[in-house]
Amino acid sequence: MTNLLAWLETLPENVLRSRLRLRIYQACAFFFDGQNTECVNILEESKKAIQELPSSLENNSMREELSRLIEIVYALMNGLALSLQGKLDQSSQIILQAKHLAEEVGNIFLLAHAYEGLALNLYNQGQLWSAASTSRQLIELAEGAFGRLVRVSPCRSPRQDTSYRRIYVWIKTNWRKCTVSCQSF
């Protein structure tokens, strides 16, 4: 995310504001970088700009698509907030809605983050088999979209890694151990 944010900062402000999809991805980058205030500001600004688009077949289609992207980002934000409050069931419901919306619009980036959030919630609820299965779906999604995944140095356990985004790497690396452990519960 840091590289994406650094790249976006090099673009002139008028370029970002005139390309709403890029602006929404900038908001996503801020969110995944932990800069929620900046994310919300951009999303609200984008919502307003979307509504101000003149009516045309192309703009109406873009308005619907971008509005759904914003809805997904807000759902992921709310799901994460509930997760941090320990409300894992509610969090999972909201993230699951975000996952379905991301599938509908075909946005692999947001879909992957929904899978990650669900896997983390399941892991924190002690549902290791379901967490592993969800993580496996994420890995298959990534491999299908991008080919073979780049190897990342594994951490010893997801709890030792502050980034919930690495849970799928840990489970992929420890898939056999996790399968055996989950079956013994």
- Structural domains counted in the chain: 1
Is residue 81 within 8 A of residue 36, CB to CB? The reply is no
> Which is nearest to 170 in space by CA: 159, 180, 185?
159
Q: What is the pLDDT of residue 23?
A: 92
pLDDT band, very low/low/confident/very high, at 147 (cuts 50, 70, 90): low
Q: What is the pLDDT of residue 161?
A: 44
d(CA 29, CA 52): 24
Q: Count other C-beta atoms under 10 Å from residue 147's C-beta.
A: 8
Residue 156 has pLDDT above 90, yes or no: no
pLDDT band, very low/low/confident/very high, at 160 (cuts 50, 70, 90): very low
What is the average pLDDT score of the chain? 81
Tell whether the torsion through CA atoms of 156, 161, 137 and 118 is positive or negative.
Answer: positive
In a domain, residue 27? The reply is no
d(CA 154, CA 119): 17
Share of the chain above pLDDT 90, in %: 48
In a domain, residue 140? The reply is yes
Q: Domain range for residue 92?
A: 53-183
Question: What's the pLDDT tens digit per position in 34-83?
Answer: 899 999 999 999 999 999 989 999 999 999 999 999 999 999 999 999 99
Residue 139 has pLDDT above 90, yes or no: no
Q: What is the pLDDT of residue 1?
A: 65
In a domain, residue 16? The reply is no
In a domain, residue 87? The reply is yes
Over the range 52-75, which residues count as b (16 or more CB within 10 Å of their CB) and which as e? eeeeeeeeeeebebbebbbbbbbb
**CATH number, domain containing residue 102:** 1.25.40.10
> Structure pTM?
0.74
